[in-house]
Amino acid sequence: MQRTQRATRLLTGALALPLAGALIAGCSTTSDPSATEDLKPVAGGTLVYASGDAEPNCLDPHVGGNYPQALVASQFMESLFSKDAKGEIVPWLAEKSEVSEDGLTRTITLREGISFHDGTPLTAEAIKANIEHLQDPNTASSTGYLAVGKVTEITIVDELTAQLELSAPDNALLESLSMPWTAIQSPEGLKRDQAANCAAPAGTGPFKVESWDRQQAVNLVRYEDYAAPAADPERAGSTAHLDGITWRFIPEAASRYAALQSGEVDVIDNPQPDTIATAADSGLGHLAAPRPGASNRVELNSSKAPFDDASVREAFIRSLDVNTGIDALYFNTAERSYSLLSSVEPLGISAEEKFGTDVERANQLLDEAGWTERDAQGYRLKDGKRLSLSFPVSTNQSVPAEQSLFEQMQAAAKNVGIEVKIDLLDLSSWYGALAKHEYDLVSAPYTKVGPSVLRILFHSDSTVPAPSGYFANNAQIKNPQLDRLLVEAEQTNDEAKRAELYERAQQIVLDGYYVIPLYDQQNHFLFSKNVHGMGETTAVSSPTYFNVFLNK
């Protein structure tokens, strides 16, 4: 019923998502000491943030487009759309948006009175300049480039209105435009050479880039002319509480945590699971903000033996006891997922029954599939060939706990006679192994707002590598029916229909035993007790600091 009500909203153009209770988890704190007190915000002070990610080479998230860039850029750049606390897409820099009957023309009207950090007013010209910047090969955008892939032409209607022509209807466009990788920056700034724009992109956010001492810190200061909307109406028209943010990069997890404990830094990201588990006891605040898009998962390469046989895929999955491993290795800070999508995605469906441990069934399936003989080490053989799986693991993308989880899977699979060869690789070598199809198992994160991530991950088009060798359909699913569902789901303007199509698509992938969902993409933050007001995030769950204040 909720869905039919909301479907009417599409007539006015706003893309709406059905409400799901799980969504609120996306923006809530689990153990926030500041939440219990009702402190009056204090202005002033500089917050020190310590990131465990690699320092970006460019602060403009259009260039490349990864999560570390999104984390910092969320402070100084804003998007046309955002996600509210209920998980619905809402206009942000945009005031409203309409789509034509055929779904091929999207009109976006901007709010009035907003200026970029360099003084340039926000006009329709900015929409055109930014989307063209994303599509320019010299920008080398990867994430944002895909997000605006269907936009063929941008026309400026009037000062605040732009019209986007699309090659096909795209009901995910507003979700795509809510991500930091498509955030809007000053068209004047974009006219500079790339190095200059990378060093200090001019956005509209509550903080602006003052300087960037490479390998030390990005120094952000409050933007005094901030005029963009605030999620909290009481804060509309005001500026950030903090004087600024010192954005540091501390790659070592133990050093980062020690620096937080000793008060040298105020907020850290990428904490180790054991430190999250004991955060409350250590007097620290904790923000859990699972990323949208796909859940973290292991994909089974169905394009070659032995996983071209669905019963071998099921046997492998049934041989594992993933839950025990997750609880132990993550100290109960990560919840097991049975869905292809993140728990913050309302259209995700869960299929717990597909992933229960059943060693007996695993053995039976393998026997039936002809893997009956055993070699000296106890591994199964068929026609003299060992049942062996290669599993390249990227050390950049898998934390140590996850690598241990994979090792536990390896041990469990051995019990039924399957050999798993784990290869720890750096990012380039890992992409190299994928490009050469030298894998049977692989785990690759994918962050995107909305269920259209399913098309990127499971449409047969995504088995065709980009010129760089990259492809997203690692399970190598080529199913014409699934392809049709995914395309139709993206084009319909009926919200209920969209949900139904995505449900059927997910069911096909789950039924085929192509994927082992593990948990949401973990995104945790720890902060000291003098940091208050933490909890607001962008559409991709990167925290924002507009309402944060220090009480030292």
Partner 1 sequence: MLAWLGRKVGGALVVLWLVATAIFIGVRLIPGDPAEAIMGGPGSQASAEALAAARSEYGLDLPLITQYLMFLAKLIRLDFGTSYALKDPVLQVIAEVLPPTITLALISLAAAWLLSLIFAMLAMRATRAGQCVGNAVEIIAAAVPHFWLGAVLIMLFSSMLGWFPAVDNGTGAGLVLPVLTLALPLAGFLTQLMRDSLSTALGSQFALAARTRGESRLTVFWRHGLRHAALPALGLTGWAFSSLLSGAVVVEAIFARPGLGRSLLSAVLSRDIPMVTGIALFSALVYIVVMALTEAIERLIDPAGAES
Helix axes 495-511, 480-491, angle to 10 degrees: 160
Site pattern 386..415 for partner 1 (x: CB under 8 A): ----------x-------------------
Neighbours of 407 (CB within 10 A): 15
Q: Binder to partner 1 among 265, 287, 334, 454 (CB under 8 A)?
A: 265
**Rg from Cα positions in the chain:** 24
Cβ atoms of 68 and 56 within 8 Å: the answer is yes
Establish if 463 lies at the interface with partner 1 (CB under 8 A). Answer: no
Q: How far apart are alpha carbons 393 and 426 in whole angstroms?
A: 8
- Pick the closer one to partner 1 by CB: 259 or 334: 259
Establish if 281 lies at the interface with partner 1 (CB under 8 A). Answer: no
Phi-psi category of residue 87: left, alpha or beta, with phi > 0 → left and psi -120 to 50 → alpha: left
Look up residue 40 and give its DSSP letter.
P
Establish if 64 lies at the interface with partner 1 (CB under 8 A). Answer: yes
Look up residue 336 and give its DSSP letter.
B
- Pick the closer one to partner 1 by CB: 89 or 401: 401
- Min dist CB 434 to partner 1, Å, is 9
- Min dist CB 198 to partner 1, Å, is 8
Q: Binder to partner 1 among 83, 248, 291, 297 (CB under 8 A)?
A: 248
Look up residue 254 and give its DSSP letter.
H
Establish if 213 lies at the interface with partner 1 (CB under 8 A). Answer: yes
Cβ atoms of 205 and 185 within 8 Å: the answer is no
Establish if 254 lies at the interface with partner 1 (CB under 8 A). Answer: yes
Collect all residues with Cβ–Cβ distance below 8 Å to 171 and sequence separation of at least 6.
15, 103, 452, 490, 491, 492, 493, 498
CA–CA distances in Å: residue 160 to residues 107, 226, 271: 11, 18, 43
- Min dist CB 469 to partner 1, Å, is 7
- Pick the closer one to partner 1 by CB: 81 or 249: 249
Q: How far apart are alpha carbons 194 and 180 in whole angstroms?
A: 18
- Pick the closer one to partner 1 by CB: 115 or 246: 246
Query: What are φ and ψ of residue 514, in 5° steps?
Result: -90, -20
Site pattern 18..57 for partner 1 (x: CB under 8 A): --------------------------------x---xx-x
Decide: helix, strand or coil at residue 424.
strand
Collect all residues with Cβ–Cβ distance below 8 Å to 549 and sequence separation of at least 6.
41, 42, 43, 45, 241, 242, 532, 533
- Pick the closer one to partner 1 by CB: 142 or 239: 142
Stretch that binds partner 1, among 170-178, 368-376, 425-433, 481-489 (CB under 8 A): 425-433
Q: Binder to partner 1 among 404, 429, 463, 530 (CB under 8 A)?
A: 429
Q: How far apart are alpha carbons 32 and 214 in whole angstroms?
A: 32
Segment 466-495, which members bind partner 1 (CB under 8 A)? 466-470
Segment 119-178, which members bind partner 1 (CB under 8 A)? 137-138, 140-143, 145-146
Tokens matching residue 160: 């605040």
Collect all residues with Cβ–Cβ distance below 8 Å to 463 and sequence separation of at least 6.
303, 471, 473, 476, 477, 478
Establish if 211 lies at the interface with partner 1 (CB under 8 A). Answer: no
- Min dist CB 61 to partner 1, Å, is 12
Establish if 377 lies at the interface with partner 1 (CB under 8 A). Answer: no
Collect all residues with Cβ–Cβ distance below 8 Å to 104 and sequence separation of at least 6.
165, 166, 168, 169
Q: Binder to partner 1 among 2, 428, 481, 552 (CB under 8 A)?
A: 428
Decide: helix, strand or coil at residue 339.
strand
- Min dist CB 255 to partner 1, Å, is 5
Stretch that binds partner 1, among 90-98, 100-108, 212-220, 544-552 (CB under 8 A): 212-220
Establish if 465 lies at the interface with partner 1 (CB under 8 A). Answer: no
Tell me whether strands 267-269 and 46-51 are parallel, antiparallel or unpaired: parallel
- Pick the closer one to partner 1 by CB: 90 or 198: 198
Stretch that binds partner 1, among 253-261, 311-319, 491-499, 524-532 (CB under 8 A): 253-261
Q: Binder to partner 1 among 427, 481, 484, 552 (CB under 8 A)?
A: 427
Q: Where do contacts with partner 1 occur on this chain (CB under 8 A)? A: 50, 54-55, 57, 63-65, 137-138, 140-143, 145-146, 194-195, 198, 213-216, 248-252, 254-256, 258-259, 261-262, 264-265, 396, 426-432, 466-470
